[in-house]
Structure 1
Amino acid sequence: MEKLIEECREQETDMDIQIRIGNLQEGVELAKQAEAEGFEVIISRGGTAKMISEAVRIPVIDVHVSGYDMLRVLTLANDFPRKKAIVGFPAITGGAKAIIDLLDIPIDMFTIHDEDETEDLLHRLKQEGYELIMGDVVTFETASRLGLIGILIQSGRESLFDAFKEARTVARWLSAGRQEIERYKAVLQVAAEDIVVVSGQGEVVYEQWQHFSPRLAGAIGLDKDAFLLDRPGKEIVHVSDPEGQPVKVIKTPIEVGGSQGLVCEFIRQPVHPSASDKVEVDRSPAPLIIHQSESMNTCLAMVERSLSYDGFVLIGGRGTGKKMLARYIHDRKFSGEGLFASVKAPDLKEVCPESIDAEIKTLYICDFDRLEDRLEEAHLRNIEALRSRGLVLIFAMTEEQPVGENRIYDDGIIRIHIPALSERKEDLRELVTSCLLHFTQTLGTSAIRMTEKGFRLLADYNWPGNVSELRALLQEAVMLEKGYVIGHELIEQLLGRKDGEGGVSSRLLKGTLAQIEKRIIEKVLEEEGFNQTKAAKRLQINRSTLWRKLKE
């Protein structure tokens, strides 16, 4: 809701409205921080508003969900072709039922009376084939963690203005003192980007984080007497954050109104990169693979038949979703247990197999075909060492390489081809809907559907950049579209710009002969879906020459 709140607050010129983002307990901590800073009223919604009202001494205004807000969410979900449901407390499901019955929208309803019911219910719904879940924050976060698509039922513009009006009325009658401001002024005297204020009893009374997670405070024991000082002056200590990275803490005693306290400033310390830094752990939720098309169903069927293998080669053009499919393979093999990590192929020889976290079960090696003939003995040695550790290795290539004695193919490695977007147009509608859902939730954009003519324009385009190109175009579209429906005119404009870039332009012909030649090769490579074999054949040169010219 951040974007919507920012737009609404511009019309409230007589109110100082600050926006901070946090759900449930995280929201409570932010509210406590706001109270410490001297804010007069807090505006929140749902379960977070209820928890905040019990934790602070200043008024809390609850932003309600109106019938219009519910209608907007149901309209967004109506275009989703798979099983969907609303899960929530009676306040949500009761209001939604009237709209669903009136408009005859095919959405199932499940009412809960306690937050603890949510996880078991969503587990059951997932087993029954539901894929889209609408509800409050707890429902949304639980659905996302379980690999379901979640839609947060959010309050709209009208509800926000009602809350602003109520907050203005409450603030007009406030006469409470400003005792906490003194503590805030003391904090500013030793201002830092990441700070915690600890009371004389060892309680965290204020915290401000920009570069660290709030859990860093608990990780180093700031709520215990160990960090309290009896002597004046600053003290510097060195600790580690939850990830084991070094942090310098500057502790400064303060006194406010006769009460003793301690200000702790956190500063990240530089570390020298090691081989293990080349490996990046991905902790994102399990991906939803869209597969209405025959080509994508064939790809997933190949995955299901190959889950007993410990080595995979994923072959597909740029933007086809190789990393997403690799993550899908990991989750299917290990049922969500263990970690999924990735490394760039050129960095593979610098990775020390013994230094890799024991929790990592799958290692995704991207751009493996970029090594070409430079596959060194160090790469092969590390590949064998990683396999001997029991890791599942997934190699990503934009095209299939010939089998040779220095290549990775053997009987224990299975090859899986990922279709280009042009080969799976049946998935286009669901891909678009999925992207709109994602951008609505993450960017706060308004667009929730696209016209049929807009869909047809997308279907007629060849998509050389595949799903990544589609996603980039849709992100631009939702940022430009101020209404709820993306029209064909905007899609036509964005696609037309691509067509304008496709011909021989003055930009293409600028520079030296070598620069012009390289730009032409790159353009042909893009048009051929980054398939080097096809590009070389079209240019009537061999692949080695193509690779050499690209590297020059």
Structure 2
Amino acid sequence: MGKIKALGIAPYEGLKEAINTVAENYKDILEITTVVGNLTQGLTIAEEAQEQGYDLVISRGGTSELLQQNLSIPVINIDVSGYDFMRTIKLAGNIAGLKAFIGFPYITKRARSANDLLQTDVRIITIQKQAEIEPLLRELNAQGYGLIIGDVAVYTSAKEMAMNGMLLTSGEESVIDALERAISTMKVVLGWRRQLELANRALDQASGIAIFDRQGKMVYSNTAYQAMQLSPNELAGYVGNLASLRPCNMLAKRDSAFFQISIRSAGGELGEAYHILYVSLCDCTDTDLPQGVSVRNYKMQAGSIADLFQQSGVYDEETIDVATSFCYSDQPMLIVGDIGVGKADLAASIHRYSSRWDTPFVVVNCRVVDPVDVIDKFCRGGEGSLDLKGATFCLEFVESLSQEAQEALMRAIQSLDNGVWRFIATSTENIAELARQGKFNEELFFYFSALRLFIPRLEQTPRDIRKVANLYIIEANTKYGKQITGIEEAGMDVILRHQWRDNFRGLRQALNQMVLLAKRSVISRSEVETVIRARETEEPGGDLSIEGTLEEISLRIIHKVLEAENGNYSRTAARLGIGRSTLWRKLGTGNPQAGRDATKD
């Protein structure tokens, strides 16, 4: 252990000399600088010393008590020993006339014991406040008291009033005791400092660590956490109110990168509750995800899912009621509805308001990627994968899977730990009917049918299209930096009468285009009609050719209808008045495999 750097603050000159004299015997281990200062001066000097790297401060009485309340480094108090009291009282007893010992309770209690032991005639007076000193001295002076004994404050006031004063001093043995305690204390402190330094070095090699108290204030963070530059607001967006954290494991997404966040509680011997956050950057980024897979994380939500749905205006009341009830269940789910009605968005909202809100929401487009490959990668810890434990998987276009792929998906789900993950399937076709016809795996259908929900097309139930349209305008204004305030009533009438083939998705795309096209702050009827005409009219040269054989013309018609129905084979077959198997035969294909017509839901 190197030399201890100490500051001595003496309330009187004699104590400074005593400290310096005794310190000579400890010069090999103690480097001490001693100054004289009262309460106010002592605090200022000590605070400067703390900034300069002093290890501890040695002082006495009220000055020592004040320093202990305001410094983070150790403060060693020089006691007034029993011998000091007896020596002072004995000396005072040798002086004729009235004598008084004045002090605070912790001093006068010991003075009274010494006075009783020595049988002197010194009057012991206890005060509670420093403001009592001067009035008391004036009263004693009027009564003819010739000697006042006390600490620095009493002694100084008595001298200022021309009264005889005796200072209660600390003897050499008290200074020796203080220096011995200073050395012992620093041995313990330095030992803890070494352990803390080693712990900090180890922590700085680990992932990001931060500790929050029960008020949500961060009391510690290591270098790795600081490098992540996670502001309190951003962190609260991932984990909720920092003052009411709860243990959990979650994946948070920032830009294209992912954070793994784990929260643990700490308390017990620490005396109060703390929460420890372990934050690590994942090796996997958005660009590492397979095509057709997206991982989302959502901030903690306030309010209810019903409020969210009603504010959006997209879903009818019956759909809202059913979806709200699904938030309280962890079972698999099947959501059926036409393209553009918001199946995946509804699944995401249910996830956000479920008990799994702090786990990832993984969208898997079954037209693009085999869901079994996704399960193998993310649920079985494949190389370079994210930790998606507890996640909700939304399997879009599950109807597009071949019979073999359906059977493999069922086996993959059954092989997982039950209840760890949640699976939601969406379909644009009537899966129940396909299962009855033997065209969809019955076991897989019943698995997803634990909870079932149908979302009607836009025109099938009453919706507040006017509200939704204006919400889409607000969204487009933000996206394109425009200031559109609304739509002319005549233009709104066109929107309300129009049959939106792609439901809300088509409406949103059209409103985005109208906002871009608008020349004034209000979208005109002509601008509405221009956008609808552009989106609904065939491209130039799009007329069907009647060249070739009947089979070739028929095939061109089938492709045109299939394109109009966004690749939906069931609706295409229905429009043409033929069965799906006939449609596939005419197209020269079997049941379409994953990877074809990867239109997002």
Shorter-chain TM range is 0.3 to 0.5
Whose RCO is larger (CA < 8 A, sep 6+)? 1
Q: Which has the larger radius of gyration?
A: 2
